[in-house]
Amino acid sequence: MATENIRKYKFGNPLNTGAVVMEIAESTGNPEGFLANPKSKELQADFSKDAFVYGLGETIRGINKRGWLYRSNNADEPHHEEGKNSLYASHNFFIVDDTETCTGYFIDHPGFVEFDIGYTDKDLFTIRFNDFDFYLYVISGKEPKEIVKNFRELVGKSYIPPVWAFGYGQSRWGYKTADDIRTVRDRYKELGIPLDMIYMDIDYMQDYKDFTVNPERFPDFENFVKEMKKDGIRLIPIIDAGVKIQDGYDVYEEGVKEGFFCKKEDGKELVAAVWPGKVHFPDFLNPKAREWFGDKYKVLTDAGIEGFWNDMNEPAIFYTEEHLKEVFDNIHELENKELDISGFFEFTGLINSIANNPEDYRRFFHDFDGVKVRHDKVHNLYGFYMTRAAGEAFERIAPNKKILMFSRASYVGMHRYGGVWTGDNMSWWSHLLLNIKQMPSLNMAGFIYIGADTGGFGGNCTEDLMMRWLEFSIFTPLFRNHSALGTREQELYQFKDSESFKNIVELRYALIPYIYREFTKAVENNTMYFRPLYFDYRSDKRCREIEDQLLVGDSLMIAPVYEQNRTGRYVYLPEDMKMLRMRSYKDYDEEVLSEGDHYVKAELNETLIFIRQGQKLPLAKPARCVDELDFDDLSYIS
């Protein structure tokens, strides 16, 4: 590792978050590029007009982060709109690139951080803190790819899932019984659409309790898991952060007995609420609690489960006992009063303050390696450490087996234990474009096993949106169709043109040898699977502003169609490339296009793939599941 390219600065009394795995000697003085002002709790830098900012992982808006206000403050935020400042994750790594100089920065701080990137003043980059206690790592290099590589060496190798986890997964909040899941399997099987995973949302549990299975809805669960696996399908259950408060429930009783739940200032366990009603939150920052909770996954792995998704782990809070009482007391004061505009907004503000209230995150504490720490000071670590609990447990439970794991909330460092999906998006065309733009930034932060809810989680997906979204998602390592209870059903068999959907999913399976090869290269070499064009074509200034085309691995460029009612799009090629207009893995047109601008046709059922000079694309013969793919019998397009 080129440690000479990394400087480490210490401000205040920072905690060891676990994000960094390499020892770097501390430097003194002001960090390169930024002036530190501990009194105002700020770092500030002048901005050249040509500077681009890349990174910050999972956020809203574009690949270039300039011009907006981003906050590292993990949030249960289902509205991924342009005006938002925070999503579910905090990835405080970014690169400032003004074409002549290129510098990377990682702010290792588990609490609130605000990145004002030319928002208040277009010529200033200001970073603000609630607590001026953090490590700052400054990484120098000639280009972004070099800086990313050094950063990824600093924070450790990324998670690699089992090979079957690159197959297609079908999910929906609302599969309530084993027969519901059998119906999904049967419908996909009838249409011959490959399928590797069916996800189990909260309805599989007994009263929404972690590590339980409802025996009436899922009788003989172990044999049901075997039945599905005979058809090549793994069941992937959800695990939530909150543990239901209920006498006789072993996880609750053990956690209370051993003191493994988060406590308030007075030493009593915090009582909050999520899906099961009232819950306690495990103290994942306590190593003993982490080991205890992680070992609970064995209940399901013993039943044959080989993968999980961790959810609601910001943690999401529907309410706490304390704040709910405050709200009701205040509402009673308004009762029988005439509500003018001020009174009406006061009333609705009280109602809207119940969930995920900032004050609630100051009500409880962690035992963080023997140090009592208030939750808001380490808020952004909670999802990371929940997934770390699972990842470390899998090494004990199944040391010779890869287990699928991905999470909603995360922080840098969690990438060593699992992947992420980008949370509760919507069935909007703008969220397809957002999905495209999020991928490179997540790769920069070390998250390589990534994807979004294809088709959108909330809202009502249309057939054309699902088809266009699939045409992008076949390149994302995590490939899952997921939707919310009460929305339009969006399993692929719900739409008219099932043959085109089959062809797109089969194309994904044909691409898996390439995707898996390039994914593992990115992990082993600390590089990026998804990259902006400008990361590879540094001399081509046109590429700086292109955010709707991505490089995928070393051989491919993609240019998804992401607008409704379009039968083509404009594409810029930084070099001559072969274009494939693919209707299926064996039905496609190919054409060599010269460097420059092109308008290319792409009907609704056509996926555009561009092969870079000197490269070739391997294709496998699709199978009903990844286990049946022949990775040796490949054809090639060059």
CATH number of the domain residue 56 falls in: 2.60.40.1760
Q: Which of 77, 203, 311, 606 is catalytic?
A: 311
Question: What pLDDT, on the 0 to 100 scale, is given for residue 336?
Answer: 86
Q: Strand ranges (DSSP E) for 241-395?
A: 243-244, 263-264, 272-274, 277-280, 307-311, 319-320, 364-368, 371-374
pTM value? 0.97
Q: 275 in a domain, yes or no?
A: no
Q: Which of 424, 453, 506, 536 is catalytic?
A: 424
Q: 575 in a domain, yes or no?
A: yes
- Pairwise CA distance, residues 128 & 112, whole Å: 8
Question: What pLDDT, on the 0 to 100 scale, is given for residue 99?
Answer: 77
Question: What pLDDT, on the 0 to 100 scale, is given for residue 514?
Answer: 98
Domain boundary among 155, 184, 216: 155
Task: Residue 162: name the closest of 421, 429, 411, 449 by CA.
Answer: 449
Q: 247 in a domain, yes or no?
A: no
Domain boundary among 155, 181, 204: 155
Q: 499 in a domain, yes or no?
A: yes
Q: 170 in a domain, yes or no?
A: no
Q: 290 in a domain, yes or no?
A: no
CATH number of the domain residue 524 falls in: 2.60.40.4040
Question: What pLDDT, on the 0 to 100 scale, is given for residue 453?
Answer: 98
Question: What pLDDT, on the 0 to 100 scale, is given for residue 1?
Answer: 52
Going by their DSSP bridges, the two strands 364-368 and 371-374 should be labelled as antiparallel
Active site residue 554: no
**Structural domain of residue 473, as residue ranges?**
423-431+457-638
Active site residue 424: yes
Q: How many domains does the chain have?
A: 2
- Pairwise CA distance, residues 515 & 415, whole Å: 19
Q: Which of 283, 314, 360, 376 is catalytic?
A: 314
Domain boundary among 100, 134, 155: 155
Chain-centroid distance, C-alpha 251: 27
Active site residue 108: no
Question: What pLDDT, on the 0 to 100 scale, is given for residue 2?
Answer: 62
Two tokens, residue 331: 């509402």
Show the low-confidence residues of the chain (pLDDT under 50).
none
Report which DSSP code applies to 27.
P
CB atoms within 10 A of CB 490: 26
Q: 21 in a domain, yes or no?
A: yes
Residues 296-349 pLDDT 10s: 999 999 999 999 999 999 999 999 999 999 999 999 988 888 999 999 999 999
Q: 146 in a domain, yes or no?
A: yes
